[in-house]
């Protein structure tokens, strides 16, 4: 119920802001995100057997706005699959509304563990009504997906600190790695790894194989390395 209401609000914000009639020029990177998402969609549904790099080069010759390599592939993978239903600008904007509703719902769910439900729902509404968020929902950008991944990863880390378990450690590692593969700013979650130092020094940190922390750290570092290598090859 909360997600449906927030989704309708997100669509209302797009309608009020005239997003459907935009020319994908609201941000310097918006057109590149849209073209790259469409390229991934075309590869997945029209040329799955071709060499991905050769396909991307040919696509770039026709539409020189491909940003894959300059940005990590996480958002484009999601958007490419989403465009499989309907490859239009409207579909990409609807994805932004879905992500914003998910962000508001996740905020309310996390808040419900700390405060009374109606205050938690109010927090979700405040997220959606924040001016920078209202601007983002009008654009085809990866920031809403990144914010959602960072929120879920932070919640997993907080839950892990409260009650260490392999499931929560792996959950944090997976979602934090996903955040890095969405946008390089996801590397901010590396600060969560620094929590290991004071907890380990005080003897309160779970560091054995059962806690899952080595696997979490491996997920995080491998995906960071993959993102770095992809960007380096693109620049070369």
DSSP secondary structure, the chain, as one string: -HHHHHHHHHHHHHHHHTGGG--S-SSTTHHHHHHHHHHHHHHHHH-TTS-HHHHHHHHHHHSTT--BTTB-SHHHHHHHHHTTT--SHHHHHHHHHHHHHHHHHHHHHHHHTTS-HHHHHHHHHHHHHSHHHHHHTTS--SHHHHHHHHHHHHHHHHHHHHS--HHHHHHHHHHHHHHHHH-GGGGGGHHHHTTHHHHHHTT-S--SGGG-HHHHHHHHHHHHHHHHHHHHHHH-
pLDDT score for 201: 46
> pLDDT at position 96, please?
96
Q: What is the mean pLDDT of residues 93-120?
A: 92
- CB-based contact 150:188 (threshold 8 Å): yes
pLDDT in tens, 14-24: 999 988 888 88
pLDDT of res. 228? 43
Please check the confidence at residue 106 and state whether its pLDDT lies above 60.
Answer: yes
For residue 11, the model assigns a pLDDT of 93
């Amino acid at each position: 119920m909360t997600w449906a209401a927030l989704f309708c609000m997100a669509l209302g914000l797009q309608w009020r802001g005239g997003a459907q009639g935009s020319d994908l020029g609201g941000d310097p990177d918006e057109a590149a995100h849209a073209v790259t998402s469409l390229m991934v969609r075309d590869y997945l549904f029209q040329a799955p057997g071709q060499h991905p790099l050769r396909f991307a080069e040919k696509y770039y010759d026709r539409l020189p706005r491909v940003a894959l390599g300059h940005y990590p592939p996480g958002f484009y993978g999601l958007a490419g699959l989403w465009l499989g239903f309907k490859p239009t600008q409207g579909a990409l904007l609807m994805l932004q509304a879905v992500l914003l509703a998910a962000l508001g719902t996740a905020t309310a769910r996390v808040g419900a563990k700390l405060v009374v439900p109606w205050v938690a729902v109010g927090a979700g509404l405040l997220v959606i009504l924040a001016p920078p968020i209202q601007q983002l929902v009008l654009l085809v950008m990866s920031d809403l997906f990144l914010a959602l991944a960072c929120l879920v990863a932070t919640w997993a880390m907080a839950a892990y600190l409260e009650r260490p378990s392999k499931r929560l450690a792996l959950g944090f590692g997976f979602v934090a790695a996903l955040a890095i593969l969405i946008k390089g700013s996801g590397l901010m979650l590396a600060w969560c790894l620094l929590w290991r130092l004071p907890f380990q020094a005080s003897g309160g940190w779970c560091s054995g194989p059962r806690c899952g922390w080595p696997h979490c750290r491996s997920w995080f570092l491998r995906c960071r390395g993959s993102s770095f290598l992809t960007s380096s090859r693109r620049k070369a």
